[in-house]
């Protein structure tokens, strides 16, 4: 959906600055997050209503609206959906949104992740993933070349070629084009003005300027995906709630596969833009990349996901003071390396011993026995816990042929696959295994 004037056509929550598709959802959100009694979870309709409820029913006073950003916690302001929002806040919002739309997706880093969906178990927020996210990294060469260009937003669209969304924003684009290669070399000096331009551009996005520099980084090999996402992102950005960057719709095949690979975008938590973040990270470590990548990336091995810092809230560029709906920090219970838990566990020596092909019965047998003990020597544990762990081989050895429950019909021929009829059925390995096992009767 094309959105031009968000504040008028797109409802937003005064308490936490989130955008919504329609007012009904906004009201649901407010009831669930801001007007919900923390004692009995009853959902009220307004802030004062909540205050009165707590006082009358629980004899408790509350002085601020739950989950509200600082400055918007007034419990006495009667706001319902979009009604009751003070005019000056409306105007401020209008201004902010205008600036945001001018700058396009570069700024979207701020509102991420946790705010994207309603957290409560009973409600699911709009999926923030739908909207195309712009690749912030693209087009930074242009800003360099145009120190005087007010619309930073145009930068993403700069790359040679597609300016679909750009022309309105960057009248000087064609000139920029030619100047780009030289401009690129001059990037560092050029970045200063850009850096200076950023802040005035985005009063509403304090988090953005730190995010800009990485994108500014010179890009000798400007990924050609730049134009596509940039162009495509800008109009689609309008469609998304301003705070919720989402999936990029790749217009180029290269973008498509790039999207698969990376995770955290440098300057934003946007998942989809992660793709373009990879090249920049590798080539431009000098800039703020480290701070960005360390916080936001979860995929690249050089940026291990932090287990102690919340990924979204911790990123430098995300989460300006306005956003967090939950507490500021959260902890991901996961080891630091960005590989799966199974891969981590499989690296342990005790699980590596048996990698030789199962076909080697002899080789396998002793190792099976070793496995059977289950406790690697380094752990210093007795091979089995007598009485606790039964290898159950006794039981299994008994009825190898007697599986009354299984329907024998329709068994296809085994074929002549690799001769893998292992001794694992029960006899031999069992013999090796349980020297310390005393199967206690039936169990």
Window 345 to 374, contacts with other proteins (CB under 8 A) = 345-346, 348, 351, 354-359, 364, 367-368, 371, 374
Q: Give yes or no for residue 113 binding other proteins (CB under 8 A).
A: yes
Give the nearest distance from C-beta 326 to other proteins in angstroms. 6
Enter the DSSP assignment of 152.
G
Query: Looking at 4, 57, 84, 260, which residue binds other proteins (CB under 8 A)?
Result: 260
**Which listed residue (288, 305, 317, 322) binds other proteins by CB under 8 A?**
305
Q: Are 77 and 47 in contact (CB under 8 A)?
A: yes
Separation of alpha carbons 435 and 346, rounded Å:
26
The answer for residues whose C-beta is within 8 angstroms of residue 346's C-beta and 6 or more apart is 352
- Indicate whether 276 belongs to the interface with other proteins (CB under 8 A): no
How far is C-alpha 362 from the chain's CA centre?
48
Of 192 and 420, nearer to other proteins (C-beta) is 420
Strand partners of residue 19: 12
8 binds other proteins (CB under 8 A): no
Which of residues 47, 81, 126, 280 is near other proteins by CB under 8 A? 126
CA distance 39 to 57: 10
CA dist 341 to 24, 89, 371, Å? 41, 47, 20
Q: Which of 87, 88, 379, 441 binds other proteins (CB under 8 A)?
A: 379
Segment interacting with other proteins (CB under 8 A) among 191-199, 201-209, 279-287, 323-331? 323-331
| Residues 24-63 close enough to bind other proteins by CB under 8 A | 38
Site for other proteins in 138-157 (CB under 8 A): none
C-beta of 200 vs 377, nearer to other proteins = 377
Task: Give the shortest CB-40-to-other proteins separation in angstroms.
Answer: 11
**Contact between 2 and other proteins per CB under 8 A:** no
Choice from 185, 256, 279, 285 touching other proteins (CB under 8 A): 256
For other proteins, the closer of residues 125 and 162 by Cβ is 125
CB-wise, 142 or 306, nearer to other proteins? 306
Which value, in Å, is the radius of gyration of the alpha carbons in the chain?
30
Distances (CA, A) of 344 to 227, 335, 347, 349, 379: 39, 9, 5, 11, 18
Site for other proteins in 392-431 (CB under 8 A): 392, 395-396, 399-401, 403, 405-422, 424-426, 429
Which residue, 192 or 398, is less far from other proteins as judged by CB?
398
Alpha-helical (H) ranges within 186-284 are 187-201, 208-216, 227-239, 253-261, 274-283
DSSP, res 287: S
Which is closer to other proteins, CB of 272 or CB of 288? 272
User: Site size for other proteins, by CB under 8 A?
Assistant: 110
391 binds other proteins per the rule CB under 8 A: yes
The closest of 306, 287, 284 to 295, measured between CA atoms, is: 306
- Burial code of 254-277, b = ≥16 C-beta within 10 A, e = fewer? ebeebbeebbbbbbbbbbbbbbbb
């Amino acid at each position: 959906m094309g959105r031009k004037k968000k504040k008028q056509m797109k409802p937003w929550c005064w308490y936490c600055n989130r955008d919504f598709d329609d007012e009904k959802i906004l009201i649901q959100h407010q009831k669930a997050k801001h007007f919900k009694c923390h004692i009995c979870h009853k959902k009220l309709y307004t802030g004062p209503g909540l205050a009165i409820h707590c006082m009358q029913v629980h004899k408790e006073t509350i002085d601020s609206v739950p989950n509200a950003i600082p400055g918007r916690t007034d419990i006495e302001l009667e706001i319902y959906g979009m009604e009751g929002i003070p005019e000056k806040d409306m105007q401020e919002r209008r201004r902010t949104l205008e600036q945001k739309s001018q700058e396009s997706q570069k700024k979207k880093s701020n509102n991420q992740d946790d705010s994207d969906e309603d957290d409560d178990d009973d409600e699911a927020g709009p999926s923030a993933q739908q909207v195309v996210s712009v690749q912030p990294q693209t087009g930074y060469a242009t800003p360099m070349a145009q120190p005087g260009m007010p619309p930073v937003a145009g930068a993403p669209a700069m790359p040679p070629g597609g300016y679909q969304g750009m022309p309105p924003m960057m009248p000087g684009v064609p000139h920029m084009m030619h100047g780009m290669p030289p401009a690129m070399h001059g990037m560092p000096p050029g970045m200063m003005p850009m850096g200076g331009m950023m802040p005035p551009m985005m009063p509403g996005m304090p988090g953005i300027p730190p995010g800009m520099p990485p994108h500014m980084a010179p890009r000798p090999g400007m990924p050609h995906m730049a134009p596509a996402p940039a162009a495509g992102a800008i109009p689609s950005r309008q469609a998304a709630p301003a705070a919720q960057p989402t999936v990029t719709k790749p217009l180029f095949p290269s973008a498509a596969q790039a999207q698969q690979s990376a995770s955290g975008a440098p300057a934003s938590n946007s998942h989809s833009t992660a793709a373009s973040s990879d090249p920049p990270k590798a080539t431009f470590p000098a800039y703020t990349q480290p701070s960005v990548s360390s916080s936001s990336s979860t995929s690249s091995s050089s940026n291990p996901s932090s287990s102690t810092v919340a990924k979204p809230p911790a990123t430098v560029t995300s989460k300006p003071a306005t956003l967090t709906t939950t507490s500021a920090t959260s902890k991901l219970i996961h080891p630091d390396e960005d590989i799966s838990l199974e891969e981590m566990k499989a690296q342990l020596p005790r699980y590596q011993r048996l990698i030789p092909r199962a076909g080697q019965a002899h080789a396998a047998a002793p190792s099976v026995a070793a496995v059977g003990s289950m406790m690697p020597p380094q752990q210093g544990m007795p091979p089995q816990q007598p009485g606790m762990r039964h290898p159950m081989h006794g039981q299994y050895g008994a009825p190898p042929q007697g599986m009354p429950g299984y329907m024998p019909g329709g068994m296809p021929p085994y074929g002549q696959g690799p001769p893998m009829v292992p001794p694992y059925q029960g006899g031999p390995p069992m013999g090796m295994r349980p020297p310390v096992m005393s199967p206690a009767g039936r169990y």
